[in-house]
């Protein structure tokens, strides 16, 4: 019973804090909600750390509370499925087909290239600064920081008014690159912390099961949902069906060792396009959209409040923090190269004209978020983990707050005549 009471108390505290921070932002700040919540919770966390350091308050119980939330498990096994599905529901499949080559390239080649470049640069700079970081741990940092975060990206895209093609490309990339990113991260982590050296065939089989298996399962579940919704006209039941697809699909994918994110994204795209257009009444469409918009907003608020609070639980060594600050430009350079290479190649072979403005937007708008922190926190305790967690947290903080706050102005400058159509 005590355990249940503790869980309820934690949920009550986080929801209350998120609600209060959201009200303060709406009433006084008027910033994008995700950015405001992270900034407010981060500021309060830093104040608590300072007051705890000088002995004004007892910091230990706050740290224990934040650690008890198990941020990595809450995000990866609870919040993520619902946030991904809510985002996937609004992906226009017709528009996605028009930018499929760019989106698929960014979600595959660019993730691998960005991770490799960022990891190599991180390893070189870390050793230059005197840190004992092995190349494998550099690659591990590259793997956890390379994929753009769907929650952060979609949250910003709602407000900036980017051209439709660019918005679809960025949203599609952020939703689809998690599967490959997770496979790369888990493979490198296994080598780094267990000493195992999986063969190419093992990695290939793992990738096929995770990615291809997840896509197939997602298609099957999305189609089942479509057939069930087509045979009824009751918005409450259809909303409940969508919840079941997300919860059950993610749990089933985890049990089958498939990619849960890919399952819910694919199912969400099918429900958001096929089921929405041919299996739902106007009333159901309205209720479904409103329900998932509320779920998206509430869980986003909780997630970014947790990201800000997590600084209390991180063992923040100031030497590691310097490395994290240096990692910011390294990650941006890696992102720029990984996007520019395929863009230039497509231009040379005559497939797609090179667009410098789109390159700039894709580089600066490729936000990192809570998923990178959660992946770093999932690593076993070690000095290397402390370095990676600190560096990832600093990169994510810069990405969400600085890049997130300036991305809208950048879009208006790059595309002054856009009407988002």
The whole-angstrom separation of Cα 296 and Cα 84 is: 9
Number of domains making up the chain: 1
**Whole-number Å distance between alpha carbons of 403 and 406:** 5
Q: What is the DSSP letter of 195?
A: -
Q: What is the mean pLDDT of residues 138-158?
A: 90
Q: Which of 222-231, 257-266, 400-409, 411-420 has the lowest mean pLDDT?
A: 411-420
Query: Looking at the predicted structure, is the pLDDT value of residue 54 above 50?
Result: yes
- Pseudo-torsion of CA 8, 14, 19, 21, nearest 10°? 160
- As given in the structure block, the two tokens for residue 234 are 């009751």
Task: Round to whole Å and give the CA distance between 258 and 251.
Answer: 10
**CATH number of the structural domain spanning residue 215:** 1.20.1530.20
Per-residue model confidence (pLDDT) at position 161? 81
26: in domain: no
CB within 8 Å of 123: residues ≥ 6 apart = 133, 134, 135, 137, 138, 139
Q: Which of 106-110, 151-155, 254-258, 300-304 has the lowest mean pLDDT?
A: 151-155
Distance CA 263, CA 145 (A): 22
Least confident of 169-173, 197-201, 385-389: 197-201
In a domain, 63, yes or no: no
| Integer Cα distance of 181 and 143 in angstroms | 6
For residue 3, being part of any structural domain is answered with no
Percent helix / strand / coil, the chain, rounded to 5: 80, 0, 20
d(CA 136, CA 132): 12
Residue 146 has pLDDT above 70, yes or no: yes
Rounded Cα distance, 258 and 380, in Å:
22
Would the pLDDT of 197 be above 50? yes
Averaged pLDDT for residues 128-146? 95
Pick from 197, 202, 177, 8: nearest CA to 104: 177
Question: Greater confidence, 154 or 272?
Answer: 272
Give percent of the chain with pLDDT exceeding 70: 98
Quote the pLDDT of residue 22. 94
pLDDT classification of 3: cutoffs 50, 70, 90: low
Are 60 and 66 in contact by the 8 Å Cβ rule? The answer is no
Of the pLDDT bands very low, low, confident and very high (cuts 50, 70, 90), residue 299 is very high
Q: What pLDDT was estimated at residue 418? A: 58
Which structural domain, as residue segments, surrounds residue 301?
A: 71-414
pLDDT for res 136: 94
Indicate whether 280 belongs to any domain.
yes
Residue 307 lies inside a defined structural domain of this protein: yes
In the prediction, which pLDDT does 157 show?
82
Q: Is 321 exposed, middle or buried (0-12, 13-18, 19+ CB in 10 A)?
A: middle
Label residue 193 by pLDDT band (50, 70, 90).
confident
Residue 84 has pLDDT above 80, yes or no: yes
CA–CA dist 23, 41 (Å, integer): 13
Mean pLDDT across 214-240? 96
d(CA 415, CA 183): 36
**pLDDT tens track for 98-124:** 999 999 999 999 999 999 999 999 999
State the burial class of residue 128 (Cβ atoms within 10 Å of its Cβ: 0-12, 13-18, 19+): exposed
Q: How many residues make up the chain in this entry? A: 421
Residue 45 has pLDDT above 70, yes or no: yes
As a whole number, the mean pLDDT across the chain is 91
pLDDT at 390: 95
Sign of CA dihedral 366, 402, 409, 334: negative
- According to the model, what pLDDT value does residue 48 have? 85
Cα 328 to chain centroid distance, Å, stands at: 17
Asked if the structure places residue 7 within a domain, the reply is no
From CA 93, how far away is CA 103, in angstroms rounded? 12
Which one-letter DSSP state was computed for residue 210? I
C-alpha of 235 from chain center: 30
Give the mean pLDDT of 292-297: 94
Would the pLDDT of 226 be above 80? yes
Nearest-5° Cα angle at 71, 70 to 75: 120
Residue 58: φ, ψ to 5°: -85, 105
Domain assignment of residue 64, yes or no: no
User: How much is the pLDDT for 421?
Assistant: 46
pLDDT of residue 179: 77
> pLDDT digit string (tens) for 235-258?
999 999 999 999 999 999 999 989
Counting Cα atoms < 13 Å in the Cβ hemisphere of 137 gives 23
Among 229, 290, 278, 219, which residue's Cα sits nearest to residue 249?
Answer: 219
User: For the ranges 3-12, 231-240, 288-297, which has the lowest average pLDDT?
Assistant: 3-12
Assess contact for 68 and 13: CB atoms under 8 A: no
Query: What radius of gyration do the chain's Cα atoms show?
Result: 21
Whether 114 maps to a domain, the answer reads yes
């Amino acid at each position: 019973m005590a355990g249940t009471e503790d869980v309820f108390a934690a949920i009550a505290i986080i929801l209350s804090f998120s609600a209060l921070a959201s009200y303060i932002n709406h009433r006084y700040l008027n910033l994008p909600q995700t950015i405001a919540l992270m900034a407010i919770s981060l500021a309060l966390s830093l104040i608590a750390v300072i007051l705890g350091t000088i002995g004004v308050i007892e910091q230990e119980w706050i740290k224990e509370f934040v650690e008890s939330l198990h941020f990595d498990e809450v995000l990866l096994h609870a919040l993520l499925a619902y946030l991904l599905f809510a985002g996937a529901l609004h992906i226009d499949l017709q528009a996605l087909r028009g930018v499929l080559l760019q989106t698929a390239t960014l979600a595959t080649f660019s993730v691998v290239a960005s991770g490799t470049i960022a990891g190599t640069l991180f390893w070189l700079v870390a050793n230059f600064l005197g840190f004992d970081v092995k190349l494998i741990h550099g690659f591990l940092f590259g793997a956890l920081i390379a994929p753009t975060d769907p929650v952060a990206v979609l949250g910003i895209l709602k407000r900036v008014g980017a051209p439709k093609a660019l918005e679809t490309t960025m949203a599609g990339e952020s939703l689809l690159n998690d599967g490959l990113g997770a496979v790369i991260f888990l493979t490198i982590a296994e080598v780094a912390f267990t000493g195992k050296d999986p063969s190419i065939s093992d990695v290939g089989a793992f990738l096929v099961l995770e990615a291809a298996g997840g896509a197939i399962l997602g298609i099957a579940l999305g189609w089942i949902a479509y057939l069930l919704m087509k045979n009824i006209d009751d918005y409450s039941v259809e909303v409940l069906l969508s919840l079941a697809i997300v919860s059950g699909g993610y749990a089933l994918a985890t049990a089958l060792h498939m990619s849960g994110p890919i399952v819910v994204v694919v199912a969400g795209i099918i429900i958001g396009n096929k089921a929405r257009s041919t299996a739902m009444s106007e009333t159901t469409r309205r209720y479904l959209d409103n329900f998932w918009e509320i779920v998206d907003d509430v869980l986003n608020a909780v997630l970014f409040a947790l990201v800000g609070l997590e600084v209390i639980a991180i063992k923040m060594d100031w030497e590691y923090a310097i490395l994290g600050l240096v990692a910011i430009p390294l990650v941006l350079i890696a992102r720029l190269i990984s996007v520019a290479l395929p863009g230039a190649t497509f231009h040379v072979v005559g497939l797609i004209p090179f667009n410098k403005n789109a390159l700039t937007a894709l580089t600066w708008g490729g936000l990192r978020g809570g998923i990178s922190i959660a992946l770093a926190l999932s690593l076993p305790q070690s000095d290397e983990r402390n370095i990676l967690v600190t560096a990832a947290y600093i990169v994510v903080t810069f990405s969400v707050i600085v890049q997130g706050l300036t991305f809208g102005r950048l879009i208006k400058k790059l595309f002054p005549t856009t009407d988002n159509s």
